[in-house]
Structure formats: C-alpha cells, structure tokens
Amino acid sequence: MGRAIASLVIAWSCMACATRVVSIARDHLAPTSQRAELAYLDELLARARQLGLSGRPAWRKLLHYQPTWSGGVESEADGPSFFLAADGKVSPRAELEATLRGLFSAVQPGAPKDVQHPMCEFPARLLWLTRELHIDHERLPHPACERFAEFRDNLDAASATLVFSSYYLNNPASAFGHTFLRINSHRSHGDEERGLLDFAINFSASADTNNAVAYAVKGIVGAFPGEFTRVPYYLQVRKYNDFESRDLWLYDLALSPDELELLVAHFWELGSTWFDYFYMTENCSYHILGALEAVVPRLAFLEHTRVPVAPADTVKLVTDSPGLVTRVTFRPAIRAQVAARVRDLNRTERDLAGALALAPLTPWPDKLPIERRVKVLDAATDVVDMRFAKELPFDLEGPGAQRKQHLLERRAELAVRSLELRVPVPDDKRPERGHGSRRVGIDGGVTEAGEPTLGINVRLTLHDLADPADGYPDYASLEFLPITARVVLAEDRTRFRLDDAQLVRIASLAPLDPFEHRTSWKVQLGAVYLDDSGCHVCTAFRMSGGAGAALATAGGGLLGWVMTDVQAVSAVGLRGIDDAPIRLGVGPSAGLRARLTSNATLMLTGEWIWLPLQPTLASYQVTGGVRWRFSHALALSATGGLYNAGPSGQLGVYVYY
Amino acid sequence: MKFVLSVAAASMLFVATHGTAKADGYGAAGCGLGAMLIGSKPGIVQIFAATTNGIFGNQTFGISSGTLGCGTSPAAGVASAKSYVETNRQSFAKDVARGQGETIANLSQLGGCADSAAVAAKLQANFKTVFPSANVPDTQVSTTTVNLLKSDASLACSKLI
C-alpha cells in the first residue's frame, strides 16, 4: 500500500525536485577500451560472481535493498543517480557489475560539472569491493575526487555518536522526538564542550517550497524527498536546546576505524540521492539506522523496526546491541539550565532573578555579594532566553532582546567569570529506559447498568499521564490509536461495544512556575461510547480540546490542572442542536495526578460539559484510578467512573512491549 | 495512515502558537539562526516542517553541495569564525557577558587563538563594543568580534589573519 502510494507520488513530486536533481552519472560515462584494464575487469567480475557478492547482506545493506511483496528486492533509495545500472534499483547483481565496470570507466569530456567518476561518487562501494575482491588500486584509474576528499577532511572522523532530541509536545508533529548522528572529529574526540564545531549528519525531508499551501499538500501526500544533510552540530544545539528547549541524549558508538571510514564514505554516497520521506515508517530515525547497518552489517536494525518507527524505539535497538554504545551523555535544554540555576539560589535571590527577568534595571539590594549577583543575573538571563526563545532569533527590537541586553550589560560590568553550570543528568529520563511504546490490556468489571463486562484495549504508541514515568516527559501524554472495546454480558444477551477509539490523544501540561507561564492544553480526535437521553447506546465521533493551567509540586509528585473544554460530537441517531445529529458543548474539566511511588500512580479527572439548546442539557464524567507497575513490562490498573448513565468500574492488567 | 495523521496535525493548528517572523532574506542577515530556520515561516509551514524534521529552509547543507555557505571548516579562518558567531549569537552574547562558556572555547579553536580564557576575558571587557545595543545586526557582531580578536596580538589568534 505504502509502495503504491509512493510510486504514485514519486512522479509528481519529482516535477518539483527536478530543479536540484544531480546529473545521472551513467549517462556520462565511457567504458574503458584499454586491454589490460578490460582483462582485470573481467577477472574481478568473474571473482564477484564466483563469491556471490551481490547476494551478501553487506552489499544489500550498502545499497539499501529491501525485499518486496513479489519476492524480489528494491532499493529504498529513490534518486536515479544512486544506481550505475539502469535496473540497479531492483537488481543487486546488475548494480554490482555496473559498479565494477564503472570503476574502469572515464567521465566523458563535456559532461556536466557535477558528474563524478564512480570511484569518487561511490567511495563506500569501492572500499567494500576492495576488501572483498582485494582490488589492486594501482590497476584502476586515478581520479582526483577533490569534493569527496574535502567532505572527508572536514568531518575528520574519529568516532560517531547517535543523538536523540527529546519529545517536543508543543509541536504535535515532532512530538515523538528525533535522532541524528554526530561525527566526532579528531579535534574534539567526542568531548561535548569542544564538539560544537563537529558535524551532524541529519536525515530530513527537504522543503522545496515556501508556499504554505504547497507545503501542506505535499506534507499530506508524503511527497517530500528526504535527504541526508551535513549540518554543523552547533546549529542542532541552537535549534533543539535553545529554540525548542529539547534535551539531547548522546550515545557514543563503538565503531572500528574501518567501519567509521565506511560510514563517512557511505554518507557521501547518500548525498547524491534521496529517499521518499514517510513520517510513520521511512523517517529520520529509520534511515539513520539504515546507514549504520550499511556499514556494520552484523547489526540487524531495520528488520526489527516496527510501525510507527518511533525515534526512542530506535535508540532502544541501538542500546540493546551488545557493546555498541560505549558512553551516554546529556546536553540540557535551556529549560533544564534554568531549573539548575534557580536551584542554586535562595528564596530572596530567586525573587530577585524573577524581578530582573521582567525589569532588568531593578536595583541591587544592599549587601548582596558580587558572586551572588553573578548567579542571580545568570539565572535571570537564562529565564529571558527560555521565555523568548521563539522571538529572539527573529526580533532584535522586541522586549526579550531589550531585557537581555540590559541584563548582559550589567553582567559584563561585574567583570568576573561565571562558574561552569553543572546540570544533574536525569538518568531516569533516558529514552531507552522508558516502558515499551506499545500497550495491550485486558480488564473485567461492571458497566454503568451494573452488567458484568470484559474489556480489551490496545494502543499503538506511546505514553499517558498514568504510565510509568521513566524515560518519558513528566507532564505529557501522547497517544496514537488507543482503542478500548468490551463485551457486555447482559442477562438477556451478550453485546459488543466500542468504548473508546481515538486516532490521537495528546495532553501537554505545563505547570506554572515563578519564571514561566505556559498554557496547558489537550486535544483528542476519535470515537466514544455515549449513553444519555440525546444519544442512547451509541458510538459517536468526537473532536475535543481544552486549554488551561497546571500546577505541580517541586518534584512533580503531585500535579493538578484545570481547563476549559470544547467539543463537537456527531453520531447517527444523535439528537443535538435543533435535533440535528450534531452536539456542541463547552465546560470545565480538571485533573489530579499523584505519583505514589515511582511505579504507582493515582489519577482523578472530572469534566462537566454544557450542551446548550440540546435535549441533553449537560453531560458529566468523573473517573478515578490507580496504576501500579509491578514488573518491567506489566502494570495493574483499577479504575472507576461515574457519568450520566451511572457508575462503572474495572480491574485490569497492562502489558508494555 | 499518514494522511490521517497529517489531517490530525492540521486540525491541531490552533494549539501551535508562534510569533510572527521578521527574518530578513537569507544572505542579507548573514548566518543568524533566524535566517536559517524554517521556523521563521509562520503557521502551517512550521507544522509540516516539524513533521518531516526539515528545519532548514535551503539546501545550504546538502552533503555534496561542496563549500559551506553558512558553516565552518577547519581551514576557512575568518569566514568560518563569522558564520559561527552569527549562528550562535544568542548564546555567544551570554558567554561574552559571563566571561566564560563553550561558544567562546570553540571560537578560540576556530580562530586558532592561544588561550581561550584570555579570549573570554578580552570579550567580556569589551561587551559594549561587540554588543552596543540589542538591535545590532548579526553581521556587525561577528565582524566586531573578529576584529577585536585580531587586533590584540597577545591573543595570538593565528587563523584570523
């Protein structure tokens, strides 16, 4: 299905990407005519056939071939310049032989400037073939390969690190997180402080339009080509840590020098092609795994990915590979930096920092020693950076920029060095420590009518507020396809009923603190079970959302929120506004969560919805529950609810996998 | 599936709040963060840019695109240092005022300067020269910084010649 859609859109999308398609090398190569070279080529071709090289997993992975439905293979690379054989996309053998022939060819005079000799364009294939066939480079042509050499020298690879950028709830679309690779140079040797100048290799969809309508349409049909790019690591830090306030987790990889050389060469190869970008499957994290697998064929990542490919799951695959990760480090986002600076202040100083962040010229109180002024000013400046993160890069005239300037001028006048900020590493939030991203559960209990019931629930991904906290954001819930269905064992007959089937359900709670007042919000879209006077035993489509405020205790042990909700409901047989099958409502909702232990959570929620001009004037719902994780992947759940139709309750068990 | 999700993302537009952008065109603004993030485009573009992680609005960083427009190269001296200062401006300003920090340590390395602590002290003492006001353009910040470091022979910034 995905493939079918893909092939439909390729033709269309490439009208747009044609502007930056690189020339196709095979159209501009002339085969060798030298007898000695031809003889050596024949020898290599024969040896490759004899060894069955094109069937080797290493070759398959280097060319990104994947099995197809019909039993063949097809490369996931979609740019035609990635293949030297016309049928290279579907034929590993033809491509291997065309690559060997390509090594002995010459670029025709007058070819476009971007055409590279195959030895330069496919240095990873050359490395691998050389190792397998013991190719004597003295007997090959000697193209200069300046561009590849510049790329390789700039990266100056000493090691590689996988970087996970954490969940970003404030933009639903990137809520799952992101991964990329950092190539650590010999200059930095993986030292985080010195590593800003190293390069990140990032896979992302390329925006080839600034037109919002075109962007939306192409986003919807998945028509963006995904490309590997080389980005300065400092740009990633500025974007993720500062602009979006996302923590970075770094996993140093144990790659041998040979593997690392192959990785750099392979990224060069990938630079000349693109992969159609699929948000759920062939996304950023998928192709980063694919590139790692291509150079370390013993790793079998891709066959273990699942749909959707969640970035945190790919981190788990990497950390679960024995010996692959040598060290895990952490780079705190601006929000975590503020928290660390504020922890270092006493109450008066904290108030002062808050006041300075609003009014940067607030005078110093008497007798505040200079080293404390330094700490207060440094905290206040970070607060301004956090609060105005989205404005500062664009608006040098705004209040954020003005306040920051005043604070920094005062800070520079103190003329002493700040101590380096040490942010404690929240090891319990390492993404690979989180519960499994999928969940299934069964339960038993009684319905609102007092009938016994058995339920089953599934969730495709990822986390809700009552799930175990390790590895996930404290105040966020992000669920795709949570579905609960139940069998009601009534006296007269056994019924099936769909309780809840959401496409998506997100809550982003942002507890208010003295330094930041962000809105808490939630949104969900899907089907719900209703039983009231306006809709008797019906399954209704519902779109709802809410916005409000949250509060939490210092460690997050107790969390509460209040919101104003709005909803639109529609179902066959529903009597709503003017007896039309549409129900519109608005009303308050609230919730409370207590973390009893790190593995046990108590949740209480309630909502009251006013349904003006409708037969049912209001609906309400109160739920309470306890969830207790008693082993790594298992949790017990007890819930009770009260709504228009009456009280209900269930006991159940969840499995995270 | 993807279609449905995209619709879901679109239906959530109301929760995404982003300030209106005033980014100058690429080039005129140098290599400032604002000029490079697609985030500078308001609304729906931002949503889909995030969906696909396509954050940068141009092909500056293509692997095979050769010489870097905005970026650094160990060999490129002044141009690299300027581009680096412009992109890191917000963080760099804090480090300059604090007389310490990783953006200065890495700038010292790019400039081939002998002692990062001396560079930091020099910059802190000249904060008002480098950042005379909030609205000084990124390109002016980077030029002033490089000139300041070049002008002090004791810093021995060998790559800024």
Instruction: Express each pLDDT in A37-89 by its tens digit.
Output: 999 999 999 999 999 999 999 999 999 999 999 999 999 999 999 999 999 99
Q: CB-based contact (8 Å) between A501 and chain B?
A: no
Which two three-digit tokens encode residue A511?
């507890």
The confidence band for B1, taking pLDDT boundaries of 50, 70 and 90, is: very low
> If 0-12 CB within 10 Å is exposed, 13-18 middle and 19+ buried, where does residue A308 land?
buried
Report CA A176 to chain centroid distance, whole Å: 4
Cα angle A634, A638, A639; round to 5: 130
DSSP B135: T
Instruction: Specify the 3-state DSSP secondary structure of A183.
Output: strand
A621 in contact with B at a CB cutoff of 8 Å? no
Cβ atoms within 10 A of the Cβ of A377, count? Answer: 25
CB contact under 8 A, B90 and A238: yes
Contacts of A547 in chain B (CB under 8 A): 15
Query: Considering only alpha carbons, which residue of chain B is nearest residue A203?
Result: B53
**Is residue B131 a part of any domain in this protein?**
yes
Q: Which residue of B4, B33, B48 is in closest CB contact with A238?
A: B33
Q: Give a yes or no: residue B35 inside a domain.
A: no
Question: What pLDDT shows up at residue B19?
Answer: 29
- Contact call for B72 and A232, based on CB within 8 A: yes
- Residue B107 forms part of a structural domain: yes
Q: Which of residues 92-111 of A touch B (CB under 8 A)?
A: none
Q: How far does chain A reach from its first CA to its final CA, in angstroms?
A: 26
Residue A151 in contact with partner chain B when CB distance is under 8 A: yes
Q: How many helices (H) and strands (E) are present in chain A, helices listed first? A: 16, 23
Inter-chain touch B52–A279, beta carbons under 8 Å: yes
A347 touching chain B per CB within 8 A? no
Residue pairs spanning A and B at CB distance below 8 A: 258
Query: Which among B55, B91, B113, B135 is the top mutation candidate for probing chain A, defined by the most A β-carbons within 10 Å of its own β-carbon?
Result: B55
Judged by CB atoms closer than 8 Å, whether chains meet at A390 and B110 is answered as: no
Is the overall model pTM greater than 0.80, yes or no? Answer: yes
A411 touching B (Cβ < 8 Å): yes
Which B-chain residues 57-116 have CB contacts (< 8 A) with chain A?
Answer: 57, 59, 61-64, 66-67, 71-74, 84, 87-88, 90-91, 93-94, 96-103, 105-106, 109-110
| Residue A368: count of CB within 10 angstroms of its CB | 14
Local structure of B12: helix, strand or coil = coil
pLDDT digits (tens, 9 = 90+) for A420-446: 999 999 999 999 999 999 999 999 999
Give me the helix-helix angle, A347-358 and A399-414, nearest 10°.
Answer: 130
pLDDT confidence tier of residue B59, bands split at 50, 70 and 90: very low
For chain A, the domains span: 2-144, 154-331, 334-414, 434-656
Residue B141 located in a structural domain = yes
* Token digits of residue B67: 């010489």
Is the predicted pLDDT of residue B17 greater than 50, yes or no?
no
In three-state secondary structure terms, A234 is helix
The nearest alpha carbon in chain B to A418 belongs to B98
CA dihedral for A288, A290, A294, A298, sign (positive or negative): positive
Beta carbons of A379 and A348 less than 8 angstroms apart: no
d(C-alpha A132, C-alpha A123), whole Å: 14
Q: Report the C-alpha gap between A71 and A52 in whole angstroms.
A: 19
CB-based contact B87 A230, cutoff 8 Å = no
Q: Which of A114, A222, A235 sits opposite B36 (nearest CB)?
A: A235
What pLDDT score was predicted for residue B75? 66
Cβ(A410)–Cβ(B124) under 8 Å?
Answer: no
Q: Which CATH superfamily is domain A434-656 in?
A: monomeric porin ompg (2.40.160.40)
How many C-beta atoms surround the C-beta of residue A191 within 10 A? Answer: 11
Contact B52 A204 (CB under 8 A): yes
Cβ contact A102:A29 at 8 Å: yes
pLDDT digit string, tens, across residues B80-137: 899 999 999 999 999 999 999 999 999 999 999 999 999 999 999 999 999 999 999 9
Complex-level ipTM: 0.89
A contact residues 234-253, partner B, Cβ 8 Å cutoff? 234-235, 238-239, 242-243
Sheet with strand A225-232: strands edge to edge: A275-276, A225-232, A199-205, A178-185, A157-165, A248-253, A325-331
Q: DSSP character for A145?
A: -
DSSP assignment of A576-623 equals -GGGSSEEEEEEEEEEEEEEEETTEEEEEEEEEEE-TTSSS-EEEEEE
Evaluate whether residue B155 is within a structural domain. Answer: yes
The confidence score (pLDDT) of residue B52 equals 52
Instruction: For chain B, positions 122-141, list CB contacts with chain A under 8 A.
Output: 124-125, 127-128, 131, 133-137
Q: Does residue A627 or residue B20 have the better pLDDT?
A: A627
B2, B44, B87: residue with CB nearest A279? B2
Question: CA nearest A122: which of A55, A29, A41, A231?
Answer: A29
Q: Which pairing describes strands A106-107 and A476-489: parallel, antiparallel, or unpaired?
A: unpaired
Please report residues of A whose CB lies closer than 8 A to that of B96.
408, 412
Largest CA distance in chain B: 62
pLDDT at B5 over 70: no
8 Å CB contact of A197 and B72? yes
How many domains would you assign to chain B? 1
Q: Calculate how close chain A gets to B84, using CA atoms only, in Å.
A: 8
pLDDT digits (tens, 9 = 90+) for B143-152: 999 999 999 9
Q: Is residue B126 part of a domain?
A: yes
B25 touches chain A (CB under 8 A): no
Residues in contact with A10: Cβ distance below 8 Å, sequence separation at least 6, in sequence order: A78, A276
Distances in Å between the Cα of A638 and the Cα atoms of A442, A603, A620, A635 are 11, 10, 20, 10
| 568-587 in chain A: CB under 8 A from chain B | none
B49 occurs within a structural domain = no
Q: Is the separation of the CB atoms in A246 and A168 below 8 Å?
A: yes
A 20-59 → B contacts, CB under 8 A: 20, 22
Domain range holding B150? 77-160
- Kindly list the averaged pLDDT for each block of 10 residues, start to end, along chain A of length 657: 38 37 82 92 98 96 96 94 96 98 94 91 97 96 93 94 87 75 88 86 76 61 80 91 93 96 97 83 90 94 88 95 96 95 96 97 94 98 95 91 98 96 94 95 94 96 93 92 95 91 93 91 94 86 97 93 97 88 95 93 96 86 96 95 90 97
B34, B91 Cβ separation under 8 angstroms: no
